């Protein structure tokens, strides 16, 4: 069987563009922000590790796939900062980008759009964990960088509390850890106490 590698390699280069999408989160111990490809890799690893640590009943394969497709739409749409005012429609532009990738002649992943939709809708156990960990990681980076992004952008405690509130229902231990570290960030002056 002869396979035409040209469209496949072009698709892989399309995916490589995720490395060009910068986020607002600083890499741990570094002086630069992470890109969305780095975040997606860390998200997949963190979800896998946390699912094992908490002994969760879920499909690790599905979980990792959801994490890997999570930010693909940002290739076209760019990253939308968690605390920005224009988050409500960001998923629409991202879905258009995912659909473009799904329709690429070199893409062999037949359910790419469906996987992206699932992680976006957040109904499965895997999607719920992914959403919680997706919020946990930038929070963790802010704690590790003494609130660098929060301080630079004058983020308030109320914004952080609101953005992480949904975690309490599904993952109360993660939420409790976040709450205790919000208190730390306030004491240290990394978050505005408002």
- Per residue in 57-101, pLDDT (tens digit) is 999 999 999 999 999 999 999 998 899 887 778 888 999 999 999
pLDDT tens string 24-69: 999 999 899 999 999 999 999 999 999 999 999 999 999 999 999 9
pLDDT tens digits for range 137-184: 999 999 999 999 999 999 999 999 999 999 999 999 999 999 999 999
Largest CA distance in the chain: 64
User: Among residues 73, 92, 173, 95, which one has the least CA distance to residue 132?
Assistant: 173
* DSSP annotation of 106: T
Which residues lie across from 35 on neighbouring strands?
22
Q: pTM for this structure?
A: 0.94
Superfamily of domain 5-188: Hypothetical protein af1432 (1.10.3210.10)
Query: 129, 181, 133: which is closest to 160 by C-alpha?
Result: 181
């Amino acid at each position: 069987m002869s396979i035409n590698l040209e469209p496949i390699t072009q698709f892989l280069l399309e995916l490589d563009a995720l490395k060009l999408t910068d986020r607002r989160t600083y890499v741990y111990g570094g002086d630069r922000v992470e890109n969305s490809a780095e975040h997606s890799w860390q998200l997949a690893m963190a979800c896998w590790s946390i699912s094992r640590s908490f002994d969760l009943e879920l499909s690790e394969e599905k979980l990792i796939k959801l994490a890997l497709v999570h930010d693909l739409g940002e290739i076209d749409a760019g990253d939308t900062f968690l605390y920005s005012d224009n988050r409500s429609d960001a998923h629409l532009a991202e879905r258009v980008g995912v659909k473009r990738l799904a329709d690429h002649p070199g893409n062999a992943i037949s359910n790419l759009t469906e996987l992206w939709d699932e992680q976006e809708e957040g109904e499965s156990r895997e999607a719920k964990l992914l959403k919680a960990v997706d919020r946990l990681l930038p929070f963790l980076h802010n704690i590790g960088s003494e609130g660098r992004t929060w301080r630079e952008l004058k983020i308030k405690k109320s914004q952080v509390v609101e953005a992480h509130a949904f975690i309490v229902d599904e993952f109360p231990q993660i939420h409790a850890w976040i709450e205790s570290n919000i208190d730390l960030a306030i004491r240290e002056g990394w978050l505005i106490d408002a």
